[in-house]
Amino acid sequence: MSGPGESDDRELRPVDFIQLQQYIDYCSLKVKDVLKEFNADGRLAKYRHGECIDEEGFRLFLKTYLEVEDFPTDLCQRLFRSFQNSESAKSDENSGSCICLYMYMSMFQTMKLKDFLCSLFSLLGEVFLKDVSCYFSLLEDGQPRDKLEFAFRLYDRDGNGVLDSSEVDRIIAQMMHAADYLGWDVSELRPVLKDMMTAIDADSSGTVSLQEWVEGGMNNVPLLVLLGLKMTQRDGQHLWRMKHFNKPVYCNVCQNMLLGLRKQGLCCTCCKFTVHGRCANKNPAPCTRTYVMSKKETGIAAHDWVSGNCDSGKCDRCQKKIKSLHGLTGKRCVWCHTMRHDECATQEPFECDCGPFRDHILPPWAIYPVIKERQNCIKNGCAFASDDSEHNTTPDGQVLQINPIPDTHPLLVFVNPKSGGKQGERVLRKFQYLLNPRQVYNLSNGGPGPGLCFFRDLPDYRILVCGGDGTVGWILDAIDKANLPMRPPVAVLPLGTGNDLARCLRWGGGEGKTISLWLHFHAYILSYRMKNKLWYFEFATSETISASCKKLKECLTIECCGTQLDLSNLSLEGIAVLNIPSMHGGSNLWGEAKKSDRAEQDLPGVIVDPEVLKVSPQDMSDKRVEVVGLEGAIEMGQIYTGLKSAVRLAKTSQIIIRTKKPLPMQIDGEPWMQPPCTIHITHKNQASMLMGPQAKSGFFNLK
């Protein structure tokens, strides 16, 4: 019999739960998308037997859903076995096949044929597809309460509806493994976990019921963090994350130092309030407010101080150093980020000016609740009728409204946490600290609709999109559909792979460039970028060898504003329709135009004359697209290094492409095989975009 700290291969452990949640956080598919592949006409249909799938089908489910080639084999096996019928699994483990067969024959007498067959499939190595889809749907969209209920059933091994002492001991042991996996310092964690489980047993019966587990768990920060559950932040509630501190830090609750060599404690993303794991449940001071309680309080700017951890900082009032006293030292304002001695914080000036980022911050005294029905954006001409986000309402259902600070330009930030690997998560946390969290929207939670509805009536605000080109396109499309009374200018913090639009707007390609014009916030190089670019190179090379697009002129026709392009004398293997001077991570396909005395405004609406095209520069705002031809995939390398440009075919405001056979196509790096079709491209609308400063000239700034 296994001890409390051990688990067999059938048990899904907290570490597995956390790993799965991390995989799912960065996958783009939904469970419903993968289920279609198991339908009769799907590519995985042969792995489905009635309502069940075999182990290979389960492995392919994970590979397709999580979009990974190297999913851990042991975790895959453990997951598969956890879905199998527990009683049949035990029988298979402890008894011979004759006893198992007898058990199933006995079941057959009392079960419907369909249920019997599926139970038999479990014995033979198959699981219910419905169970698999329900589980991953829970991880995908489930709330912490639902996930706590699921975790309870995982730990309740005998299925009697309560956790007894042995099951609680097993939970503590497995939580220790989970904490170690997460990088916590576990030297003093076991007694903390014991106290935590004792507190959850509200009636002191010695067992934990499902109700006690859920109600106690929802208010138990270490438990939620150890289960990998993301907490929904409400006003006054901290947004905790485990953190490693590389200098002495003191707990804001017990005022003792956080000890350990790894992640020593919890830190609030929004206000930097810091505690031991054991102190997180001891009624810590609330997090900073994000709005005021009434319109009367708007415009009253006041510091919001957080005590301690200001060692070696300089007092904003007396200009003297804040010295460490081996405890909580000094105070720091959440909004202006100034620091003061404890005694200086009680003296004038009391008014907070929001510090160096005052032009971008929407402080709490600019947001207040109003008692009315939740805002329905359809009434205001906005397309997001269902986006009544908790982000924009109070816990009692009042709608938050903005009363902007005069002469400021509040920043509405959209972050795609799935862009740039875990870099997106770091960007999200950074802006939640530097700005009001109600200005910062995680695009994984409801998309851009809630943010656009919340800011729609502001007279002068700006939007910052943190993500790749696809994310920027998503936001621009949402702005176009929202029918906003004023179209705000948009800037880009590049987090994707190519980042071509960001390059054209002089925000860089995300490779170590800074966004100092915004918040002096640094975007770091993503390790996956080089892998992606190597993959693109491999794909391009193989495409050159196979050359599926040779004799392209025989496969399609191109018409620009009624003018047919003559491709008869060209040997092309690709056509590109451009609106910006960057593609595939920095390649300028159009190239630089030759100098000419002819002004751009004198050029006609469609240009196909090669001589005129030579002197026609590319302009992102001229309401026209550029059409170029590519002679081969290897040519892209020459274009990227500036040795040559593509063949200029046309500049036009309308283009019709008719294809005669299936051809590979891609938009914004997303490829597919397109059957014969007719493609119409016309100018629809324009968006105001903010550009970065002009790059300094010099040899090292050429690319």
Q: Can you give 42-60 as a three-state secondary structure string?
A: CCCHHHEECCEEEHHHHHH
Tens of pLDDT, residues 399-450: 999 998 999 999 999 999 877 666 888 899 899 999 999 999 999 888 999 9
Nearest in space to 106 (alpha carbons), one of 126, 133, 124, 87 = 87
133 or 624: whose pLDDT is higher? 624
* pLDDT at residue 190 is higher than 90: no
Contact 607, 616 (CB under 8 A): yes
pLDDT number for residue 329? 84
Q: Are 428 and 487 in contact (CB under 8 A)?
A: no
Cis peptide before 349 (omega within 30 of 0): yes
Question: Given this model, what pLDDT does residue 110 score?
Answer: 43
| Rounded average pLDDT over 227-241 | 71
Q: Is the pLDDT higher at 500 or at 462? A: 462
Task: Concatenate the DSSP letters of all residues of 274-296 into one string.
Answer: EE-GGGTTS-PPPPPPSS-SSGG
Residue 480: both structure tokens together: 């176009």
Q: Which residue has the higher pLDDT, 62 or 604?
A: 62
Q: pLDDT-derived band of residue 389, with 50, 70 and 90 as boundaries?
A: low
Q: Which two tokens stand for residue 303?
A: 């510091």
Of 290 and 145, more confident? 290
Predicted confidence at residue 32, as pLDDT, reads: 82
Name the helix (H) or strand (E) containing 241. Answer: strand 240-243
pLDDT, position 463: 95
Q: Which fold has domain 14-86+101-223?
A: Recoverin; domain 1 (1.10.238)
Q: What is the mean pLDDT of residues 196-215?
A: 87
Task: Indicate the fold that domain 547-593+602-682 takes in CATH.
Answer: Tumour Suppressor Smad4 (2.60.200)
Mean pLDDT, rounded, of the chain: 77
Q: 620-653: per-residue pLDDT in tens?
A: 888 889 999 888 766 666 676 666 778 899 999 8
Q: How high is the pLDDT of residue 109? A: 42
pLDDT tens profile 664-683: 888 876 778 889 999 999 88
pLDDT score of 574: 86
Q: What is the pLDDT of residue 538?
A: 44
Tokens (6 digits) for 106:
């006995």
Determine the pLDDT at residue 103: 34
Is the predicted pLDDT of residue 684 greater than 60, yes or no? Answer: yes
pLDDT at 469: 84
- The predicted pLDDT at position 74 comes to 85
**Which sequence spans correspond to the domains of the chain?**
14-86+101-223, 364-520, 547-593+602-682
Q: In the predicted model, what is the mean pLDDT of residues 51-74?
A: 87
pLDDT digits (tens, 9 = 90+) for 655-668: 999 999 888 888 87
d(CA 558, CA 679): 10
Q: Which region, left, alpha or beta, applies to residue 693 given φ > 0 means left and ψ of -120 to 50 means alpha?
A: beta
| C-alpha radius of gyration, the chain, whole number | 30
The C-alpha angle with vertex 171 and arms to 168 and 173, in degrees rounded to 5, equals: 110
The whole-angstrom separation of Cα 689 and Cα 464 is 10
Return d(Cα 133, Cα 128) in angstroms, integer.
9
pLDDT of 514: 34
- Asked if residues 519 and 434 have their Cβ atoms less than 8 Å apart, the reply is yes
Comparing CA positions, the residue from 342, 349, 341 lying closest to residue 319 is 341
Helices 97-110 and 86-94, axial angle in degrees (round to 10): 150
Which structure tokens are listed for 606? 């469609």
**pLDDT at residue 85 greater than cutoff 70:** no
Question: Residue 369's pLDDT band (boundaries 50, 70, 90)?
Answer: very high
* Tally of helices (H runs) and strands (E runs) in the chain: 20, 28
Does residue 91 register a pLDDT over 50?
no
Give the span between the Cα atoms of 82 and 89, in whole angstroms.
9
Task: Tell me which of 452 and 694 has the higher pLDDT.
Answer: 452
pLDDT for residue 567 is more than 60: yes
Q: Which two tokens stand for residue 263?
A: 């992640």
- Residue 74: burial class (beta carbons within 10 Å; 0-12, 13-18, 19+): exposed
Nearest to 15 by CA among 72, 94, 99, 59: 72
As assigned by CATH, the class of the 364-520 domain is alpha beta
